[in-house]
A and B are shown apart, each in its own frame.
Chain A
Amino acid sequence: MRVFTASLAEMWFSARRRSRLSPDEATAELMLARRRLGQHAPASQRTLELVLAAAAGPATDRELAGEAAAVTAFLAALPEPEPARRRGPRRIPVLAAAFMLVALVALCGTAEAGALPAPLQRLAHQAINAPAPPPAAQVPRPSADVTPGPGATGSHSASAGSGSSQESSTGKPSASPKPTHTSASQGNGQPTASASASTQPSTSATDNGKGNGGTPGQGGGNGNGNGNGNGNGNG
């Protein structure tokens, strides 16, 4: 229905256009379209028709004389066919490999400098032996300070007593998580006895002798307190 309406409109406009053309214009359109006017056309129009037909006549020898030269020039001017675009796909892997190489070198350099974030630095430390990431911030653990570990004895015995101990003078526990390394016996110069006093109060009391309840020869605060008590009792 729509097509039918459109075709009707076209027919109306076409008829109106034809009706608006003067006879001369209609004849001119026929001549421009290379149609014959017929025998009833005026002489002047038929003469003009003849002129136009001559202008659109067959090709002359002069016009076609340069055919060979034109073909040669055409073939010479044709652009060379592209070699199937082989350069494009080859460039992409090369560029990708170069980019990956540069990125890898930069990553290794950063890892060696220790500038990577901690998880990555730890990974690099495991993979390529890069420096380990710095330890996390130290948090004081009160339970470890108050109760020294069993290894305190060995440390006390290893250290030679000379000078005053930082812990023994005050009898307060150190803030260090490793209290054994600074402990040193003093006073009576018997580090063995004082060290053992922290763990074996009865033995140390026997060795240190008598009545020196104020002897601060023990390494740790705990040892000092225990020694005094035991010594006094036994003597």
Chain B
Amino acid sequence: MDQPTNKRFGMVIDLDKCTGCGACMVACMAENNVPFREDDTDKLLSIAWMRVYRLKNGKSFPQAEECFLPRPCQHCEGHHGHSPCVSVCPATATDYDMQTGIVSQVPTRCFGCRYCMAACPYHVRQFNWWDPIWPDGMERSLNPDVSVRMRGIVEKCSFCYHRYQRALDEAYAEGRRDLKEHEYQTACTQACPAGAITFGDLNNPAHTVHKLAQPDTAHEGKSRNPKAFRLLERLGTNTKVYYLSSREWVRRAGDSALRKS
């Protein structure tokens, strides 16, 4: 029997194009009902599924250079779906979906032990220390496709999985079983005014992400594109977010501590 080919949804972010404007962050917040607080300036406590970091080359003026690095969940595949967070979750609140390659997060299953936060090398997971409260009337802007998370649980980027489901629903309604590349795009990809983010199926050679990332499946998806790198690749997390940069110091920075922006 024919098995449908598994997908590996992934992202390529061209750091040469990224302007650090923050549209991806805000698109994500609006799409995914991310709560906000009166004082969100402590970025360790502020919830953002997508965060733009600022990298510096460490040189002094005027040789100083900066580069911006948007960081969604990296959707690690590890070895056969053993992503760092999935392996430690005692509640099966987070899981690696072999059909899509997406690391899910089910808020209603999570009981807030935060093992996953400790395990994640990328700080993509954030804890709801407070009840999400919207100013009077603003809760009208909430998106019904994404559940609002309450105090005491962990949340993170889902590659806008609800958009995948909606796109599939629409395709099924038309009698199709497969999606076209443009039908499933994350909110950040869609919003990026510089066209820096590309999203699609890394397993599909026709998709732009595949062409840009040139993943080498024999070597855990390592890119064959000399401009491309992944964050902390040496950890073997086998992430599905690839970054492109023409600057060497930026590519090197992908493997050391990042500074927040």
State yes or no: do A and B come from one complex: no
